[in-house]
Chains A and B, each alone.
Chain A
């Protein structure tokens, strides 16, 4: 039975006691760049097969790779954002193996001297503590093409559009201890990559893929033998794969067996991992420095330039939101996960001459806007309510033009039509009534219609006050200023 409540560490209960799961991740993140790592071919997703293939990508005889400096910059940016060492000299190696969608017969990768060394990712745990997950390294490498096995009864088709696209392989240390932590790590990493614009993090389109290393141990023991689960393409699958794999290993160990170090596949349909190849069958990749490429040398000035140009990163932004806007960790975290969301929220707060209450703005953004978007299955980018428009709505509440309750109706209208709040309030006559005489007239009518209840109230049945408020609001069409209704009712009933 797996449990995780509060600060208790994640354990899987086996026949022989509790087991700890040790997880390390290799994330393959496709670099955002106009062209491929070593060729000028385009990288757009979803193009017709074999339309984005240069002579280099197809490994025609005599073709040579030339490094794309933009991809190098992207790797450096990522290294800096992961608080990692950026190596001024790194080396590209050839990883040799045969496959039909690997035209060169080798992948150009980095083996012993990667472009980025050790770094760290900070995770906020549910109990409010922060966990540091070590980054072992980040290296640049080429993606392979794609084999299509379902297009012909006996033949495979090859699409080389992806062949040669730049990937960053980001290798974590075995610092993760539960499926939830692993999910949080992937989300955080994705958030960082999106902030700095080096990877779109789209797991569905395969622009971010995970290899998951899983082992189990009794909590005090050293590391157990790990299995690598290849190419898991959603966070949910990663969690399922870890849980399944950990239980599988525990069962074997508790039955007196031992774990074979091997590469496994996750079968999403059956929710299980399957052996792909054992250590004995593992490829001998015959790595050696690519003689077509010189060692990659980085100018320290360029690294400094890229560092200076990095945007505010999620952790820093979160701290600032909590400090400057008085937001809770929860609110700040949900607002900063995506840079666009954080920017959107800040546009609301800083608009309107700085008069807007950041907490009210956060509530409206998180509860109302995110809620409505979620319900409609839309992204912020699809929202018909702009930051400026939401700010306008908040201003109308602030200056008493509408009540908070009416504001929810106005927001629903804004969300559906894209109109701004003031227009909707004007057109529908939703402006709050704050005229004493007007409200008094309504109250008088209510009291006149409910003289029996007035008498009861006056004889001590205080609870009826709410009834009079409700009736007054109803009769005013919800437009009466609730504060004034309260005050005036109290005065009249006191009679």
Chain B
């Protein structure tokens, strides 16, 4: 049993194709593992029956020598993706009991490629958070524990924390996440896995519960860089149902994976050395720079001068869009309804009970920054700054092929920490938000352990639609880092 879980996505794929294992036994192993790790609260819904049925169908196809790129591979889906006939909650009470009659484009692509659905993973409510602690279904827990304080549960990061915990805790071979300001990359860093946010428009947003439309992007969370390439290849593609979906053809993501970084120019932005950054973050960054230099890359000091405005800009743009996107959860057609004496009271009761504190906070911020008299000072100005941030990257990418930064300013923090201080929580996104605002691809790769023995990731950023470069540099870091540490809970599995 444990041997099956040891296989990463590529290894499992090859074993399935070689008929050394079956999807049925692989899937059963993962379902058992999900039960064993229920304490992580990584899943909101486990679709065991569906998983076994899909596995059986995959086995039938594999037996005939057929099957897609992910045939028979059990994966987990962030509960922000609408899945036909399967409870879809966005970790919010307001979507209580909501079972879509439709399948999101990305998950549809995955099932067509043969993947097997294990279930829907926990997350911050409506993807708003950096801890997966704002979930109506309770916080997701990081499989890792601090070396000194093994009793204290840590957050897996957020918002895709359930997906991160599932992959890091081996209760899924891989998972989907979504990233609006860092929601794939920061949890990947906190849990020692690979998390890739593609270029905006790479993956269709159709069927993904919207948080901030101009920023939301789906991506893979995996054990290895190659796994991420394979997953993204299946997820991505132009979708006429999403007007912002990119028409650019997806290149072969595995082709240049092992090409190395020799001769590449890697940018190191001065502005990412933020005040009060823990020295171990600085150290892991320095180590990453050295790995790439040793592998033959040219390290280039670059400047992204508007970086310090990225976080405030993000916290205007994202809540503004969210305040409008979440208006549809009104109790009229689906999900929770709390009756009231008139329509306004019904709205207030429903939304008051259905949305958690963080969602309400962001809806209020967003409503405020869009309101008459404040629009120019906030929303319009934020759009202008966003354009400047984009220009910073454009200029930088005139000089370099990829940019290397830390993923997050800390390692995983304790469950419950930062909850009374939203700004401190928002600071988790400081390194990930700029690329989100610019729409650029970014990936977190595990690079080492903190003093507390917790994983730390490095972030690779690339040009628009240059996922092959991001993966190539990420693979070089993965090689150099040789990150083999595992959370204690995986010992003896």
Instruction: Please tell me which stretch of A242-250, A290-298, A416-424, A428-436 contacts chain B, meaning at least 4 of its Cβ atoms lie within 8 angstroms of it.
Output: A290-298
Given the complex of chains A and B, what is the CA–CA distance between A27 and B351 in angstroms?
A: 35
Chain B residue nearest to A288 (CB atoms) is: B370
Partner among A59, A156, A288 whose Cβ is within 8 Å of the Cβ of B328: A59
Tell me the chain A residues, 40-81 only, with Cβ under 8 Å from chain B.
55, 58-67
Interface centre among A60, A61, A67, A156 (most CB of B within 10 A): A61
Within the complex, the shortest CB–CB distance from A40 to chain B, in Å, comes to 10
Instruction: Please tell me which stretch of B130-138, B202-210, B275-283, B413-421 contacts chain A, meaning at least 4 of its Cβ atoms lie within 8 angstroms of it.
Output: B202-210
Interface centre among B205, B324, B333 (most CB of A within 10 A): B324
Partner among B104, B214, B244, B333 whose Cβ is within 8 Å of the Cβ of A62: B104
Contacting residues, chain B, for A284 (C-beta < 8 A): 371-372
Contacting residues, chain B, for A470 (C-beta < 8 A): none
Given the complex of chains A and B, what is the CA–CA distance between A100 and B102 in angstroms?
A: 23
Is there contact, CB below 8 Å, between A61 and B327?
A: no
Contacting residues, chain A, for B321 (C-beta < 8 A): 291
Given the complex of chains A and B, what is the CA–CA distance between A66 and B244 in angstroms?
A: 10
Contacting residues, chain B, for A158 (C-beta < 8 A): 332
In this assembly, does B400 line the interface, its C-beta being within 8 Å of a C-beta of chain A? no
Within the complex, the shortest CB–CB distance from A458 to chain B, in Å, comes to 93
Given the complex of chains A and B, what is the CA–CA distance between A3 and B144 in angstroms?
A: 87
Is there contact, CB below 8 Å, between A61 and B330?
A: no
Is there contact, CB below 8 Å, between B243 and A67?
A: yes
What is the 8 Å Cβ interface bit string for chain B, positions 241-274, against chain A (1 contact, 0 not)? 1111000000000000000000000000000000
What is the 8 Å Cβ interface bit string for chain B, positions 431-473, against chain A (1 contact, 0 not)? 0000000000000000000000000000000000000000000
Contacting residues, chain B, for A479 (C-beta < 8 A): none
Given the complex of chains A and B, what is the CA–CA distance between A98 and B244 in angstroms?
A: 26
Within the complex, the shortest CB–CB distance from A452 to chain B, in Å, comes to 91
In this assembly, does A104 line the interface, its C-beta being within 8 Å of a C-beta of chain B? yes
In this assembly, does A96 line the interface, its C-beta being within 8 Å of a C-beta of chain B? yes
In this assembly, does A375 line the interface, its C-beta being within 8 Å of a C-beta of chain B? no
Given the complex of chains A and B, what is the CA–CA distance between A62 and B326 in angstroms?
A: 11
Is there contact, CB below 8 Å, between B324 and A105?
A: yes
Is there contact, CB below 8 Å, between A96 and B243?
A: no
Given the complex of chains A and B, what is the CA–CA distance between A103 and B82 in angstroms?
A: 18
Is there contact, CB below 8 Å, between A65 and B243?
A: yes
In this assembly, does B213 line the interface, its C-beta being within 8 Å of a C-beta of chain A? yes
Partner among B90, B206, B207, B330 whose Cβ is within 8 Å of the Cβ of A105: B330
Is there contact, CB below 8 Å, between A96 and B333?
A: no
Is there contact, CB below 8 Å, between B370 and A105?
A: no
Is there contact, CB below 8 Å, between A288 and B379?
A: yes
Is there contact, CB below 8 Å, between A64 and B371?
A: no
Is there contact, CB below 8 Å, between B100 and A66?
A: no
In this assembly, does B88 line the interface, its C-beta being within 8 Å of a C-beta of chain A? yes
Tell me the chain B residues, 323-362 only, with Cβ under 8 Å from chain A.
323-324, 326-328, 330, 332-334, 343, 347
Is there contact, CB below 8 Å, between B102 and A60?
A: yes
Contacting residues, chain A, for B323 (C-beta < 8 A): 96, 286
Chain B residue nearest to A67 (CB atoms) is: B243
**Chain B binding surface SS class:** loop
Partner among A64, A106, A294 whose Cβ is within 8 Å of the Cβ of B327: A106
Given the complex of chains A and B, what is the CA–CA distance between A291 and B343 in angstroms?
A: 28
Given the complex of chains A and B, what is the CA–CA distance between A103 and B334 in angstroms?
A: 11
Given the complex of chains A and B, what is the CA–CA distance between A192 and B317 in angstroms?
A: 42
In this assembly, does B240 line the interface, its C-beta being within 8 Å of a C-beta of chain A? yes
Partner among B81, B102, B320 whose Cβ is within 8 Å of the Cβ of A288: B320
Chain A residue nearest to B328 (CB atoms) is: A59
In this assembly, does A94 line the interface, its C-beta being within 8 Å of a C-beta of chain B? yes
What is the 8 Å Cβ interface bit string for chain B, positions 364-408, against chain A (1 contact, 0 not)? 000100111001000100000000000000000000000000000
Is there contact, CB below 8 Å, between B327 and A104?
A: yes
Is there contact, CB below 8 Å, between B332 and A103?
A: yes
Given the complex of chains A and B, what is the CA–CA distance between A58 and B332 in angstroms?
A: 10
Partner among A61, A94, A99, A156 whose Cβ is within 8 Å of the Cβ of B90: A61
Is there contact, CB below 8 Å, between A62 and B210?
A: yes
Is there contact, CB below 8 Å, between B243 and A64?
A: yes
Given the complex of chains A and B, what is the CA–CA distance between A100 and B337 in angstroms?
A: 13
In this assembly, does B115 line the interface, its C-beta being within 8 Å of a C-beta of chain A? no
Given the complex of chains A and B, what is the CA–CA distance between A63 and B205 in angstroms?
A: 8
Interface centre among B88, B95, B244, B327 (most CB of A within 10 A): B327
Q: A286-B370, A288-B379, A292-B244 are in contact. Are A62 and B213 (CB under 8 A)?
A: no
Q: How many A residues face the partner with a CB closer than 8 A?
A: 30
In this assembly, does B426 line the interface, its C-beta being within 8 Å of a C-beta of chain A? no
Contacting residues, chain B, for A156 (C-beta < 8 A): 343
Is there contact, CB below 8 Å, between A104 and B320?
A: no
Within the complex, the shortest CB–CB distance from A407 to chain B, in Å, comes to 61
Contacting residues, chain B, for A60 (C-beta < 8 A): 82, 100, 102, 333-334
Contacting residues, chain A, for B90 (C-beta < 8 A): 61
Is there contact, CB below 8 Å, between B334 and A62?
A: no
Q: A64-B205, A65-B243, A288-B375 are in contact. Are A100 and B328 (CB under 8 A)?
A: no
Within the complex, the shortest CB–CB distance from A100 to chain B, in Å, comes to 5
Is there contact, CB below 8 Å, between B367 and A286?
A: yes
In this assembly, does B98 line the interface, its C-beta being within 8 Å of a C-beta of chain A? yes
Is there contact, CB below 8 Å, between B206 and A64?
A: yes
Partner among A62, A98, A99, A104 whose Cβ is within 8 Å of the Cβ of B208: A62
Is there contact, CB below 8 Å, between A288 and B100?
A: no
Is there contact, CB below 8 Å, between A62 and B205?
A: yes
Tell me the chain A residues, 211-269 only, with Cβ under 8 Å from chain B.
none
Given the complex of chains A and B, what is the CA–CA distance between A206 and B332 in angstroms?
A: 25
Contacting residues, chain A, for B367 (C-beta < 8 A): 286
Is there contact, CB below 8 Å, between A94 and B207?
A: no
Contacting residues, chain B, for A67 (C-beta < 8 A): 243
Is there contact, CB below 8 Å, between B209 and A59?
A: no
Chain A residue nearest to B240 (CB atoms) is: A66
Contacting residues, chain B, for A61 (C-beta < 8 A): 82, 88, 90, 95, 98, 100, 209-210, 328
Is there contact, CB below 8 Å, between A59 and B371?
A: no
Is there contact, CB below 8 Å, between A105 and B205?
A: no
Given the complex of chains A and B, what is the CA–CA distance between A55 and B213 in angstroms?
A: 18
Contacting residues, chain A, for B333 (C-beta < 8 A): 58-60, 103
Given the complex of chains A and B, what is the CA–CA distance between A99 and B347 in angstroms?
A: 9
Contacting residues, chain A, for B209 (C-beta < 8 A): 61-62
Partner among B88, B327, B379 whose Cβ is within 8 Å of the Cβ of A98: B327
Q: A61-B82, A62-B209 are in contact. Are A286 and B324 (CB under 8 A)?
A: yes
Partner among B244, B324, B330 whose Cβ is within 8 Å of the Cβ of A294: B244
Chain A residue nearest to B242 (CB atoms) is: A64
Within the complex, the shortest CB–CB distance from B337 to chain A, in Å, comes to 11
Given the complex of chains A and B, what is the CA–CA distance between A63 and B328 in angstroms?
A: 11
Within the complex, the shortest CB–CB distance from A394 to chain B, in Å, comes to 56
Contacting residues, chain A, for B242 (C-beta < 8 A): 64, 66
Within the complex, the shortest CB–CB distance from B323 to chain A, in Å, comes to 8
Given the complex of chains A and B, what is the CA–CA distance between A294 and B98 in angstroms?
A: 30
Within the complex, the shortest CB–CB distance from B149 to chain A, in Å, comes to 39
What is the 8 Å Cβ interface bit string for chain B, positions 205-247, against chain A (1 contact, 0 not)? 1111110111000000000000000000000000011111000
Given the complex of chains A and B, what is the CA–CA distance between A349 and B324 in angstroms?
A: 59
What is the 8 Å Cβ interface bit string for chain B, positions 70-108, against chain A (1 contact, 0 not)? 000000000001100000101000010010111010000
Given the complex of chains A and B, what is the CA–CA distance between A67 and B244 in angstroms?
A: 12
Identify 12 new A-B residue pairs, CB closer than 8 A, beyond the known A96-B323, A98-B347, A284-B371.
A60-B102, A61-B90, A61-B95, A61-B209, A100-B332, A105-B324, A105-B328, A286-B370, A287-B370, A291-B213, A292-B244, A293-B243
- 16 pairs from A and B in contact (CB 8 Å cutoff): A59-B328, A59-B333, A60-B100, A61-B98, A64-B206, A65-B243, A66-B243, A96-B327, A99-B343, A103-B328, A105-B330, A106-B324, A286-B371, A288-B324, A288-B375, A294-B244
Q: Which 4 A-B pairs have the closest CB atoms?
A: A105-B327, A291-B213, A286-B370, A291-B214
